[in-house]
A and B are shown apart, each in its own frame.
Chain A
Amino acid sequence: MKKILIVEDDRKISLALSLRLKAHGYEVLTAFDAVAGVSMSVKHRPDLVILDISLPAGSGFDVANRINLAMTVGMPMIFITASSNPEFQSKAEQLGAAAFLRKPFNDGELIAAVRQALGEEPQRP
């Protein structure tokens, strides 16, 4: 089973994402701040990290940077943000993001991005 780490400080959004991803057959881990996000990435080696950008104790970009530094093998990352800052998208791309989604996101879009980031078939099994 593929493992996905969700780094999101809004507990409700985190829960909703977990429910959705579990329903699609993934194992889900959650972290609620940037520090936990980095340590859980290193400890559990998830197959994908879903990152909110504004987080307590750092930003999603900081987490991505730390993961990139700590990992020898690239770990796919998807950014999700409620911010309308137009620079965030290019920043995410520079960090090698597999996808960049804005909140409120579309479920179809999210699952498609997850499957693509994990190198799975676009269709549901």
Chain B
Amino acid sequence: MATPIRVLILEDRHEDAELMLHGLRRAGFDPVWRRVDTEEDYLARLDSALDLILADYKLPGFDAVRALQRLQERGLDIPFIVVSGTISEEIAVECMKQGAADYLLKDRLARLGPAVAQALEQRRLSTERKEAQKALELSHDTLSRRSGELQDFYHTVSHELKTPLTSAREFVSILLDGIAGPLTDDQQHYLQLIRESCDQLHFYVSDLLDATRLETGKLEVRPVDASMETLVANVVSAMTSAMQAKGIELRREIDPALSSTPLDERRINQVCMNLLSNALKYTPSGGVVTVRVRTDPDDPELIQFSVRDTGRGIAPEHLGRIFDKLYQVRETDTSIEGGMGLGLYIASGIVRLHGGRMWVESSVGGGSIFYFTVPKRWRAPRQHILFVDDDPATQEMVHATLEPVGFEVSVASDGGTALKIVQGRAADLAIVDLCLPGMPSPVLMGELRNTRGDLPLVLYTGYPDSQLMVQAMKFSPLTLLTKPCTPEKLVATVRGMLAERATSIQPDHAPRDAA
């Protein structure tokens, strides 16, 4: 059965047009055709319903290259095949450059059928690809919008929770301060309890917001030179009465040789308060909590903070996960408050944004020591990009593009290798090819997110496999990088994604020498 095809023939010789039609019919096409031989007629007949254009190279006052240009100006994507009596290689190259699907010599018209079939197939694929691309971009836009909406939602919730909390706390304070008249001792006591609950609620709302900020890369760290002495003194004075009330001794050991260090004082204070509150929570009466600040024994460029307690310690099975979001050591001992499982997650995130790290040493019954480090000199850490793709040429391109602009790049050909790499060194961003050998890309992305819940992901894809795509798109933050990818686009995508995460990590001072 012949395939119907609408053809425009640009040819001044009627008999040559007939030969072309003959060729088409022999190849199984049923052409509905029109022949034109001037630019004016050609333009008048161009429309998107055409399946094919066959054009002689040279016509009186017109030629195939111009015809191709006109076609592109109209924004039409119609397969265009040049058919010519003689054609030089240069002209052939020029035609192909201008977008011709193929070129043929008139005395070799036997090739016409296969050439047309191929051109039509290519067009079908390109249309399909464009549609898929469009769908992809659309779903990506939707996802970014959703992520923005979620962020706004958290801000609104936080605002809406804090407003009634403010008036509740303020009226209680007014009563407590005797502004509305004298109180009995019991009334005073109960109102104090209400105010403590208000403060606790406020604390939790702030934690929720900080966790969201960390996840969306909006947590700000603004380093300003700070004295370790003052920082620790503030933390200790805030905790002293609670420690005394529980009969715990709070000690501090600060190396007096330490000079001031660039850090976000409010945020590091938050980290210290978190560690001390935990120590208070888990240390029994009569115990000792020690805050220590010194130069890191393994790296003179770092300051090391530690909080040691004489509490119950942490079982080995919990140690690996206590910095995870929402992870809690479930206790049968109900005297220990639950909390939301966000404290250490936020604390370690803040330390990471400072370019330091947090870890713990603990044994059951032997107490715990939480450590964290911050660099003595503020430095934007060299960010580690993980690239997972099994094509060596692409690996090389990505490596050669990102290393010179200041990133550290690790490449892996499959999921297993990728996971081994991040075990050795955490990634700041991972670029994953959609189609991988072995472990499917969505599985790998899930595993990578298990190592770090807010790891920015870039999905690298040329031809979207819909099922894989749907699975992969559930991750956020996620950006699409489409093939073919230029080095400029790659750098812009990586920088954009990382900038979104940490917009304000800017030093507030000039670099200076360490102590």
Chain A residues within CB distance 8 Å of chain B: 10, 12-13, 15-17, 19-20, 23, 54, 82-86, 103-105, 107
Contacts and interface: CB of A to CB of B under 8 A. Distances in A.
A84 B166 contact: no
B159 A17 contact: no
B208 to A, nearest CB: 11
B163 A85 contact: no
Given A16-B171, A84-B209, A107-B170, A23 B159 contact: no
Interface in B195-222: 198, 202, 206, 209, 220
Contacts of A17: 170
Contacts of A82: 158-159, 162-163, 166
Contacts of B155: 83-85
Given A16-B171, A85-B155, A103 B163 contact: yes
Nearest to B504: A86
Interface in B146-205: 155, 158-159, 162-167, 169-171, 173-174, 177, 179-180, 198, 202
B326 to A, nearest CB: 21
A107 B173 contact: yes
Nearest to A104: B166
| Top 7 closest pairs, chain A to chain B, by CB | A12-B167, A16-B170, A82-B162, A103-B166, A104-B166, A23-B179, A13-B167
Contact of B174 (A20, A85, A86): A20
17 contacts: A12-B164, A12-B167, A13-B166, A16-B167, A19-B180, A20-B173, A82-B159, A82-B166, A83-B155, A84-B155, A84-B159, A86-B220, A103-B165, A104-B162, A104-B170, A104-B202, A105-B166
Given A10-B163, A23-B179, 19 more contacts: A13-B170, A16-B166, A16-B171, A19-B174, A19-B180, A20-B179, A82-B159, A82-B166, A83-B159, A84-B155, A84-B206, A85-B155, A103-B163, A104-B198, A104-B202, A105-B166, A105-B170, A107-B170, A107-B173
Given A23-B179, A86-B220, A107-B177, A54 B169 contact: no
A52 to B, nearest CB: 9
Nearest to B170: A16
Given A85-B155, A104-B162, A19 B179 contact: yes
Contact of A103 (B162, B209, B220): B162
Nearest to A86: B220
Mostly, the B contact residues are helix
Nearest to B222: A86
Nearest to A12: B167
Contact of B177 (A13, A23, A104): A23
Contacts of B209: 84
**Max chain B C-beta neighbours (<10 A), residue from A13, A15, A17, A85:** A13
A7 to B, nearest CB: 15
A59 B173 CA distance: 28
A79 B180 CA distance: 26
B168 to A, nearest CB: 8
Nearest to A85: B155
A23 B177 CA distance: 10
Nearest to A10: B163
Given A16-B174, A23-B177, A104 B159 contact: no
Nearest to A22: B179
Contacts of B504: 86
Nearest to B178: A23
A17 B159 CA distance: 18
Contact of A84 (B158, B169, B171, B173): B158
A19 B198 CA distance: 20
A82 to B, nearest CB: 4
B158 to A, nearest CB: 6
A10 B167 contact: yes
B11 to A, nearest CB: 66
A23 B158 CA distance: 30
**Max chain B C-beta neighbours (<10 A), residue from A10, A12, A20, A82:** A82
B182 to A, nearest CB: 14
Contacts of B179: 19-20, 23
A105 B163 CA distance: 11
B401 to A, nearest CB: 33
A108 B497 CA distance: 42
A3 to B, nearest CB: 19
A15 B168 CA distance: 11
Nearest to B176: A107
B499 to A, nearest CB: 16
A85 B158 CA distance: 11
Contacts of B220: 86
